[in-house]
Amino acid sequence: MATHESNRSRAIYFAGSIRGGRDDAGIYRQIIEKLRQFGRVHTEHVGSPSLTDGGEGGSAREIHDRDLDWLRSSDFIVAEVTTPSLGVGYEIARATEWGKKVLCLFRRKSDNKGLSAMIAGCPDVMVREYDTVADTDAILADFFGDAR
């Protein structure tokens, strides 16, 4: 699906585990591809196969400040939260503090024990479970639907 003209000005922040583990990097990449139909994704690098759990170049402060700038300037936050990540949790907390619209995607059939109650119980976060990346089409359409 092509990006609609009105969607091009939307900024989306995608969050997924980096240092917490890269097992889902392929899933992140597929979700990021889907997100492009809804706007500009600031954090496409999160889905890169070359990014390891060692993180990326730059100091921790540089990464923190850059990512918070991207987060602050984003209209929507989509986080894949199946692999637990302190950084993703921090980003979700800041986004809700700033009144951002936040969607958390959690894969039901994962080896993880379950979603954190701090995410699942947050009234400012839309949490949706899915089984396959194809399931996220309807979830994303619903999440972005009222903003189209």
Give long-range contacts, CB 8 A cutoff, 24+ apart: 90-95: 91/13, 91/15, 91/67, 92/15, 92/119, 92/122, 92/125, 94/68, 95/13, 95/71
> Domain residues for 89?
7-145
| pLDDT at residue 58 in the model | 83
In a domain, 114, yes or no: yes
In a domain, 2, yes or no: no
pTM of the model: 0.90
Number of structural domains found in the chain = 1
CATH code of 13's domain: 3.40.50.450
For residue 104, what are its two tokens?
A: 């958390």
In a domain, 82, yes or no: yes
Alpha-carbon distances of 67 from 7, 28, 136, rounded to whole Å: 22, 17, 24
Each residue's pLDDT expressed in tens, for the chain with a length of 148 residues? 444 445 668 999 999 999 888 889 999 999 999 999 999 999 988 877 877 677 777 899 999 999 999 999 999 999 999 999 999 999 999 999 999 999 999 998 767 778 999 999 999 999 999 999 999 999 999 999 855 4
